[in-house]
Amino acid sequence: PGYGGSCFPKDTRALTTVADKYDIETLIVDAVVEANERQRMAMVPKIKELVRDFQGKRIGVLGLSFKPETDDMREAPAIEIIEELIAQGASVCAYDPVAMDEAKKSLPNIDYAENEYDAIEDADVLVIITEWNQFRALDMNKVRSLLKSPKIADLRNIYEPKDMKELGFEYVGVGR
Q: Which residues are catalytic?
A: 7
Which residue type sits at 79? I
Backbone angles phi, psi at 107, to 5 degrees: -130, 70
Radius of gyration of the chain (CA): 17
Backbone angles phi, psi at 110, to 5 degrees: -125, 165
Question: CA angle 153-109-9, nearest 5°?
Answer: 65
* Residue-level length of the chain: 176
Distance CA 30, CA 20 (A): 11
Q: 91-95 and 125-128 as β-strands: parallel, antiparallel, unpaired?
A: unpaired
Is the CA virtual torsion 49, 50, 53, 59 positive or negative?
negative
